[in-house]
Structure 1
Amino acid sequence: MHWIDPNCLPEAKGTVERFVLNPHGEVDGFVMNGAMQAPVLVHTPPHMEPELVRHVRAGEAVSVRGVRPRKADLIAAVAITAANGAGIIDQGPQHEREHPKLEKKKMPAEGTVRLSLFGPKGELRGALLADGTVIRIGPKEAEQVAALLAPNAKIAVTGDGLDTEHGRVVHAKEIGASSHDLRPIKQAKPKLKHEAEAKHDRSAHA
């Protein structure tokens, strides 16, 4: 959202608890604790990672200017001011980005959900466990297992995992309430063009 003037947006302040990772092991946000409020997820696009990890540390105070989607407790950050005074602004990616080529391995995770994780528009994308593990699921697939991604839910997964300097992330392929109750996550089928057109025609003539 590099086209938005951050100075026109509301400001939220708090302390960084931990970074959050996307399925590729890139930092795409952090959990922020406020003195008078529950922890809130702050989303940042992956192209902000270099500046973010250079200036922001867990335990330090930050201020965030961003937008809040209607259906999630989330701030999609446009600008962040670090404790050292550095301003980190979403200027958009400067070139076509490639995901880091990190070696993934099959990895299990199990525990209690601390926070649901969302994309910048409020779409459910996974969960943060109490032990700090990040579980990621595609937005369409996440809708099918939303109850397991809710705060305080018990969850177990297996999938493609990474251990990085900023934490652990598992892109889930199987999910359940426990490791004895795992089932494959159904991949959402994209709608074919002719199916979408047929549905539109039926609606137009209803």
Structure 2
Amino acid sequence: MHWIDPNCLPEANGTVERFVLNPHGEVDGFVMTGAMQSPVLVHTPPHMEPELTRHVKAGDAVSVRGVRPRKPDLIAAVAVTAANGASIIDAGPGHEREHPKLEKKKMTAEGTVRLSLFGPKGELRGALLTDGTVIRIAPKEAEQLAGLLAPNAKIAVTGDGLDTKHGRVVHAKQIGTCSRDLRPIKEAKPKPKHETEPKHDRPAHA
């Protein structure tokens, strides 16, 4: 069970436009529209997928209780209430949960970014294109490519992908502004230890 009581969290209401997928093809959120001025990304952990997709579908009205990171327009959901009254609560992943074993294939995608995609703590993790394709990139690499993952940016990628009943997702290996401008996504190197340690003022010597 989530350590936060969902009843103490603010509630947001809207309509589910579409589900969003992680690189394994699991539902890990949805785009919610409605009373908000612009669409909002709602993040749900993948272990909520069975209950979420059982009770919720695109076009349904839902209410969401969750927390909002400081920067992105995102709700990290702790509980979702479906139109039929079902309450889907983050009860944790369980000890035996594994990613689905789906066969990935080489895929390409090109288009315009509609929304940036974030993890539950607000870390950039990819983009949703206007055609509904989800582009996924690891957080450290995504941070370096933020300009290509911003709304209205032109983007093209190749990588490993999946077509599922909930949409299409590509885990990008190459990226550019168009298919003629692709370059490999380099894995971000960890910072040297001395750069990550806090600096302390050294006492002056007499």
TM-score, normalised by the number of residues in structure 2: 0.94
| 1:37 to partner: Cα distance | 2.0
| 1:98 to partner: Cα distance | 1.2
CA distance in 1, matches of 2:2, 2:136: 25
Alignment root-mean-square deviation, CA: 1.5
Pair 1:7-2:7 in alignment:
yes
How do 1:19-30 residues align onto structure 2 when only pairs under 5 Å count?
A: 19-30=19-30
Pair 1:203-2:185 in alignment:
no
SS at match of 1:72: coil
SS at match of 1:47: helix
Aligned to 2:161: 161
Check 1:54–1:145 CA distance in 2 against 1; reply closer, same or farther (3 A cut). Answer: same
Deviation string for 1:107-154 (max 9, x for gaps)?
000000000000000000000000000000000000111000000000
Aligned to 2:59: 59
CA distance in 2, matches of 1:43, 1:200: 29
Aligned to 2:118: 118
Instruction: Give the letter for the 1:20 counterpart.
Output: V
TM-score, normalised by the number of residues in structure 1: 0.94
CA distance in 2, matches of 1:92, 1:36: 29
Aligned to 1:144: 144
Aligned to 1:47: 47
CA distance in 2, matches of 1:47, 1:98: 9
Unmatched segments (≥5 aa) in structure 2 = none
**After the TM superposition, which segments of 4 or more aligned residues of structure 1 sit over 6 Å from their partners?**
none
CA distance in 2, matches of 1:93, 1:201: 33
Check 1:162–1:200 CA distance in 2 against 1; reply closer, same or farther (3 A cut). Answer: closer
How do 1:124-135 residues align onto structure 2 when only pairs under 5 Å count?
A: 124-135=124-135
Check 1:203–1:170 CA distance in 2 against 1; reply closer, same or farther (3 A cut). Answer: same
| 1:36 to partner: Cα distance | 4.3
Identity of aligned residues (%): 84
SS at match of 1:17: strand
| 1:71 to partner: Cα distance | 1.4
Of the structure 1 ranges 33-42 and 170-179, higher mean CA displacement relative to structure 2 is found in 33-42
SS at match of 1:50: helix
